Amino acid sequence: MTLTEHPARPQGREKKPRRRRLLVAATLVLATLAGYAVWSNTVPYTLSASIEIDATPDEVWSVLADVAAYDEWNPFIVSSSGIVEAGATLTNTMRDATGETTFTPTVLTVTPGRELRWLGELGPGAVFDGEHSFLIEPVQPGRVRLVQAERFSGVLVPFFRGQLHDDTLPQFRAMNEALAQRVDARRPRA
């Protein structure tokens, strides 16, 4: 029987391939997460509901911009406070199938008779953001289309798409209907 001696391997050499594999794996995981974060913020999920209302843009705007009266008629944003002007912060409480949530969006755009837009963020930016808009489009004299939409972006949004569609979209429709009824009730009768 012959014994063959094998030279001892330096310990540092065993650790280097392991470290290299861990570094490559960590880099791949981080690149995947970064790619997902970029994708989830550049490919937003949008909900939209519209309704045609026999009214002028100013009549619809007067109901929409009167946030202090939301608790009287609005089944979705059941209370709101703040000043409707660009840069201001509103305090809105919304109700859907999951319960009530209070959030403080920043008003982005205020164009009387045309557009109201705000941005709500959950956590630091790019986690779960919603840019909510109301557009009032004239269809013909004395008739407008109100389009309520929200553009959701952030890393958590893909996990909540089904819930947003099932719980939030019906509330957009309910609010649009209630707003149309409120506008109609405020119109003078002949």
153-175 tens-digit pLDDT? 998 899 889 988 999 999 999 99
Residue 20 located in a structural domain? no
What is the residue range of 61's domain? Answer: 44-186
Q: What are phi and psi of 116, to 5 degrees?
A: -130, 130
**Nearest-5° Cα angle at 74, 170 to 108:** 85
Q: Is the pLDDT of residue 4 over 70?
A: no
Q: Is the pLDDT of residue 135 over 90?
A: yes
Beta carbons of 27 and 35 less than 8 angstroms apart: no
Q: Look at residue 77 and tell me whether its pLDDT is greater than 80.
A: yes
Residue 142 lies inside a defined structural domain of this protein:
yes
CATH number (domain holding residue 144): 3.30.530.20
Domain assignment present for residue 49? The answer is yes
Q: Which of these ranges, 36-45, 72-81, 110-119, has the smallest mean pLDDT?
A: 36-45
In a domain, 125, yes or no: yes
Domains identified in the chain, total number: 1
> Do the Cβ atoms of 119 and 129 come closer than 8 Å?
yes
Q: Is residue 130 assigned to a domain?
A: yes
Label residue 23 by pLDDT band (50, 70, 90).
confident
- What string of H, E and C letters represents the secondary structure of the chain? CCCCCCCCCCHHHHHHHHHHHHHHHHHHHHHHHHHHHHHHHHCCEEEEEEEEECCCHHHHHHHHCCHHHHHHHCCCEEEEECCCCCCCECEEEEEECCEEEEECCEEEEEECCCEEEEEEEECCCCCEEEEEEEEEEEEECCEEEEEEEEEEECCCHHHHHHHHHHHHHHHHHHHHHHHHHHHHHHCCCC
- List the alpha helices (DSSP H) in 43-190: 57-64, 70-73, 157-163, 169-186
Residue 52 has a pLDDT of: 98
Of the candidates 45, 149, 69, the one whose C-alpha atom is nearest the C-alpha of residue 80 is 69
Residue 24 belongs to a domain = no
Tell me, yes or no, whether 21 lies in a domain: no
**Per-residue burial over 148-169, b = 16 or more CB atoms within 10 Å of its CB, e = otherwise:** bbbbbbbbebeeeeeebeeebb
| Residue 19 within any structural domain of the chain | no
Taking every pair of Cα atoms in the chain, the longest distance, rounded to a whole number of angstroms, is 117
